[in-house]
Structure 1
Amino acid sequence: MEVNCEKSRQKEDDGLGWGKKSIPVPSVQEMVRKDHQTVPERYIQEYENRPLTDALSSTSCQIPVIDFSLLTKRDETEQKKLDSACKEWGFFQIINHGVGEELIERMKDREAAVFDLPLEVKKKYAMGENDLQGYGQAFVVSEEQKLDWADLFFLMAYPPQYRNFNNWPLIVPSFKETVDEYSAEICRVSEEILANLSMLMRMKEDSLKELHKVMRIAMRMNYYPFCSKPELVLGISPHSDGGSITILLQDDYITGLQIRHQGQWVPVKPLPGAFVVNIGDALQMWSNGVYKSVEHRAITNARKARMSVAMFVMPDDDAEMGPVDTMVCDNGPALYQRVKYNDYMRSYLDRKLEGKITDSFKSQGQ
């Protein structure tokens, strides 16, 4: 399949236009560096939200594994596995994806170099008004809410026209070049997954890609410091993703991701060399609820910091979310209203990170 993610309008200078930026909060990485024993009250979750071990599902580490190389051959058995994974779990891991090990390790290394920068340097790349790009936090809307035990960099990675280099840590050698290569590979993988999902939704292979209008990829680099009392905090609060699909690069040896499955939290044990893929809200709405965007969260540990790179595949701001015709007739009436992606993201970001908001866009009577 020919990869063509370059076509795009030039990014405007006034940010992404998704609403006001999050309230600034301290760097957790710096806080732990100065005092690794104390857990400030604002980070201690309410009891019912804490990652208690006895609340974890016994079905851990069992999310489906999909062989990407078979999807490229349109293998019907593997497509059925993909269909089942998206319906029942909303998550799966992919192997044999063709992204080189050297590039993956280089991406991890450059991410580590970014977070190793002095705090005063990282602050130079802080998020601006009306923009999510840069260093900082998202979803902090009040001075009272509980905070996540994490720092982040959020950057528009693909197409290049959407990048705002004022927020890029270009001081890190070869960072831009590595992101160039990595995001192009993620674009290739994403297009192939979307092509298979299009076929499963009884559409032409390029239909989901076309629904994006411009298929954009945003990168969120996450740094979760170790915590002296990990049972009290969350690395990131439960949420679903707002795009179509997300491709996550985990630490190979530290389990931090948990997904909600059948009312329980299921830890996702890393599979070395694999990517974790999950369905986002846009695809849930396009599929009329057949494919599920599932709540997930990240926990911390008392031994070692953990990093991850999440690549969010997102529609263009003018793209329309809502059930496609092929998913309405056999799957009941249209469950969701039609809404522009920009309007959806404004609602998505104008709140603390907590659960899903797709129900807010359900059709009347649903």
Structure 2
Amino acid sequence: MGSKSTLYAPCPPLPNVQELVRTDPFQVPETYIRNEEDIAKDADLCPHLSSEVPIIDFSLLSKGHKEELRKLDQACKEWGFFQVVNHGVATEVTKGLKNAAEKFFELPLEDKNKIAMPPNDIQGYGHSHVDHKVLDWSDKLVLVVYPHQYRKPDVWPPTPFKEAIETYSSELRRVGEQLLGSLSLIMGMEKDTLLGLHQELVQPLSVAYYPQCSMPDKALGLSAHSDKGSLGIVMQEDDVTGLQIKHRGKWVPIEPISDAFVVNVGDIIEIWSNGKYKSIEHRVVTNESKARISYSTFYLPHQNVEIEPLNQMVLESPGSQPLYKKVMYGDYLKQTKKMRSEGKAHVIEVAKIAT
């Protein structure tokens, strides 16, 4: 995968948002201000739908419980997002990561910059995916945790943050593999099929710091997008809501549930399922009163894997026709990055077959 992997794009140096707020909490530079079209979307906010976001019991799912598998199928079809409870990751593991991250982001900028992203990669501390015109109100630490050979030790934080990341990511690998196994079952395959289709399960971790913002109606913590991998798992703060998903044309806040993970379907599952399961646009909003940290784990195939609708999913579809063409994963990432720079949020259209 190397330092110039197609997984990630070079990032130009940008201001540190946390430092902007420390210097002047009332300043929001023009480069972070959204246009009128984005602001208008806020009128489509539907907080009352938050209570309808599916909740799945991971302990039952991992045992092959039929009702829980049915709920997973419905969640992936109708929402593309769900929360999992009883996932088996110990509270001391999740709290350990949160405590270590809080201490890291409290460090002086010069200390955090010791593991800054190099100009030819995205791993490290800084900013990611800044290929759109309006910048996101956040700072990040991004690391590829698995496979080990893709790690960049020079941009890993010191102990105890490093150890907390190791412990948490090991547990999240178990959760992710189990979820892929459950998806394989509801798609009518052997449990290990989807994991095998990845050839090499690549697992990055993004720890994002969203400072408080004096103009929350004008700046986004993370622009609307769909995830380009197979699955994403987010650990939220217990007391600050920031994540919103697009559901039937409306923005729905994902209210935090204590000790739950938020899981979403990525573009690759949408392609493999021939559109049965949807990769949904989502974004992160800012707030005036409190900073927020989120912890996002992603699961990606090897970049040389060819992605196309699976035969049994095509046969389930109306007309028994594939809706997506075959794409190499690395090429798909390059194409979708280019489209995103043109301001399009949901870019899976590049893989769709023209009708």
The TM-score bracket by the shorter chain reads over 0.9
SS of the equivalent of 1:220 reads strand
SS of the equivalent of 1:59 reads helix
The residue identity in structure 2 corresponding to 1:198 is S
Residue 51 of structure 1: CA displacement? 7.6
Aligned equivalent of 2:29: 40
CA 1:307–1:59: 2 relative to 1, 3 Å? same
SS of the equivalent of 1:169 reads coil
Alpha-carbon RMSD? 1.6
The residue identity in structure 1 corresponding to 2:136 is D
Aligned equivalent of 1:72: 62
Say if 2:9 and 2:129, in contact at 8 Å, map to a contact too.
no
1:261 aligns with 2:262: no
Cα shift readout 1:318-342 (whole Å, capped 9, x = no counterpart): 1121111111112131111111111
Q: Structure 1 unaligned segments of length 5 or more: list them.
A: 1-10
Cα shift readout 1:252-288 (whole Å, capped 9, x = no counterpart): 1111010000000001100010000000011111111
The residue identity in structure 1 corresponding to 2:222 is I
SS of the equivalent of 1:303 reads coil
CA 1:319–1:347: 2 relative to 1, 3 Å? same
Residue 19 of structure 1: CA displacement? 6.0
Residue 20 of structure 1: CA displacement? 4.2
CA distance in 2, matches of 1:126, 1:72: 38
Aligned equivalent of 1:59: 49
- 2:173 pairs, out of 162, 187, 200, with 187
Instruction: State the percentage of identical aligned residues.
Output: 44
SS of the equivalent of 1:108 reads helix
CA 1:216–1:148: 2 relative to 1, 3 Å? same
Aligned equivalent of 1:216: 202
Say if 1:248 and 1:309, in contact at 8 Å, map to a contact too.
yes
CA distance in 2, matches of 1:322, 1:130: 30
1:100 aligns with 2:87: no
- 1:114 pairs, out of 89, 99, 104, with 104
CA distance in 1, matches of 2:91, 2:40: 32
Aligned equivalent of 2:335: 347
CA distance in 1, matches of 2:8, 2:264: 25
CA distance in 2, matches of 1:91, 1:204: 23
Aligned equivalent of 2:225: 239
Residue 133 of structure 1: CA displacement? 0.9
Residue 15 of structure 1: CA displacement? 3.9
CA 1:109–1:348: 2 relative to 1, 3 Å? farther
- 2:157 pairs, out of 147, 164, 169, with 169
Q: Which moved more, 1:174-183 or 1:62-71?
A: 174-183
Aligned equivalent of 2:76: 86
SS of the equivalent of 2:315 reads coil
CA distance in 2, matches of 1:282, 1:53: 28
CA distance in 1, matches of 2:337, 2:313: 28
Say if 2:224 and 2:282, in contact at 8 Å, map to a contact too.
yes
Q: Structure 2 unaligned segments of length 5 or more: list them.
A: none
Q: TM-score, normalised on structure 2? A: 0.94
Give aligned pairs, total.
350
Residue 203 of structure 1: CA displacement? 0.9
The residue identity in structure 1 corresponding to 2:251 is W
Aligned equivalent of 1:131: 121
